[in-house]
Amino acid sequence: MAPTIVIVGAGVSGLTSALLLSKSIKGCDLTIVAKHMPGDYDIEYASPWAGANFEPMSSREGSRWERRTWPELKRLTEEVPEAGIHFQKSRVYRRNKDMEAEGQLGLFALDPWFKDLFDDYRELNNDELLPGTDSGCGFTSVCINTAIYLPWLLGQCRKAGVVFKRGVLRNIREAKTLSHTGRPADIIINTTGLGARKLGGVEDTAMAPIRAQIVLVRNELPTMLSVSGTEDEPADLIYTMQRAAGGGTILGGTYDMNNWESAPDPNIALRIMRRVVEARPDIANGKGVAGLDVIRHGVGLRPYRHGGVRIEDEKLDESTWIVHNYGHAGWGYQGSYGCAEQVVELVDKIRAQVKSKL
């Protein structure tokens, strides 16, 4: 018999988990219950705010999820234009002074694991570097227009028979009674992101926000750009990415740990825009900040988890299991398929343990 599954959360983690489960388990009943759905913009819902691009952040040892996600994002870009993803050249710039700081591995590593992932990875020549940077690399990656991609994922899930319901859970246990079939859930998938900090029965105090302020502009900059550091505040970043299909260009940003503030700060916004026009004056035809045409200012909270993402199974009671998939910080899209694959593996493991039932 196929299991009855309830997924809590409709961000990129919940939607991708639902999609892969629907493909992998024939005849299973899948319900997604969430406070926020594609189309909503809210500080408690990280997914719509993301750029989102694929710029690997993991170490070589932790690269499983990004490695497994890249082929599917590449396939969707090549074969499924309605998913709202396009290829974009990426330029990553390193400053030696940032390389000494802890944590400056991942995207800015000098000998990154992902040089074998992209067909055209290369180190940049000195005459290609931005002023103030010491080295860099280039490769062709993708940028996802999340305003198109999230509804597309939702549509793919509906096509596969997944049923969507609004609901706000106070305790993860409530999901047991929320399947559209009326049957008790055998397996609950917890993809509540930062919500896992407050949700009863989970209350994961390792979860923390990393505030991300961005500016979305109509101006175009066909090359994505990331620099390892800035001369401004410690939480300030510089990155850009142009979303597919007229989605505008995201200018970033900040990486501000433990800051819950949802309102955009005008001073930060000005610093973001100034840094971008200084690095790439062509984005505003040389007119500086005044040449930027702002669509909106935004703030999202990256769902960070001290100790790393939580993807594991847990027994709730004699007949119910939970599979957790939350805490993806700033890489929820670029790890989405790899993480959802692991959710499927854990569900398979649970089914194997109770073969007679599910």
Binding site for ligand FAD (CB under 6 A): 8-14, 34-36, 44-47, 49-53, 167-169, 191-195, 199, 212, 214, 300, 302-303, 326, 328-334
**Whose Cβ is closer to ligand FAD: residue 275's or residue 351's?**
275
Asked whether 51 and 250 are in contact (CB, 8 A), the reply is: yes
Shortest distance, position 271 Cβ to ligand FAD, whole Å: 16
Q: Could you count the other beta carbons within 10 Å of the beta carbon of residue 281?
A: 13
* Amino acid at site 3: P
Shortest distance, position 164 Cβ to ligand FAD, whole Å: 10
Write down the residue that tokens 């944590």 correspond to. Answer: 103
**Whose Cβ is closer to ligand FAD: residue 7's or residue 25's?**
7
Distance CA 268, CA 133 (A): 22
Phi, psi at 218, each rounded to 5°: -80, -20
* Residue 229 Cα distances to 192, 209, 289, angstroms: 31, 20, 20
Asked whether 13 and 332 are in contact (CB, 8 A), the reply is: yes
Beta strand 122-123 pairing with 207-217: unpaired
Shortest distance, position 185 Cβ to ligand FAD, whole Å: 14
Shortest distance, position 203 Cβ to ligand FAD, whole Å: 11
Distance CA 358, CA 350 (A): 9
**Whose Cβ is closer to ligand FAD: residue 94's or residue 211's?**
211
Burial of 229 (0-12, 13-18, 19+ CB in 10 A): buried
**Whose Cβ is closer to ligand FAD: residue 109's or residue 250's?**
250
**Whose Cβ is closer to ligand FAD: residue 336's or residue 351's?**
336
Shortest distance, position 18 Cβ to ligand FAD, whole Å: 11
Shortest distance, position 60 Cβ to ligand FAD, whole Å: 18
Q: Is 296 annotated as a binding residue?
A: no
**Whose Cβ is closer to ligand FAD: residue 195's or residue 229's?**
195
Shortest distance, position 282 Cβ to ligand FAD, whole Å: 22
**Bridge partner list, 171:** 200
DSSP 74-99: HHHHHH-GGG-EEEEEEEEEE-HHHH
* Residue 338 Cα distances to 17, 70, 110, 311, angstroms: 10, 9, 25, 11
Q: Is 302 annotated as a binding residue?
A: yes
Q: Is 240 annotated as a binding residue?
A: no
Asked whether 4 and 184 are in contact (CB, 8 A), the reply is: yes
**Whose Cβ is closer to ligand FAD: residue 106's or residue 303's?**
303
Known binding-site positions for FAD: 192
Known binding-site positions for D-dopa: 302, 330
Known binding-site positions: 192, 302, 330
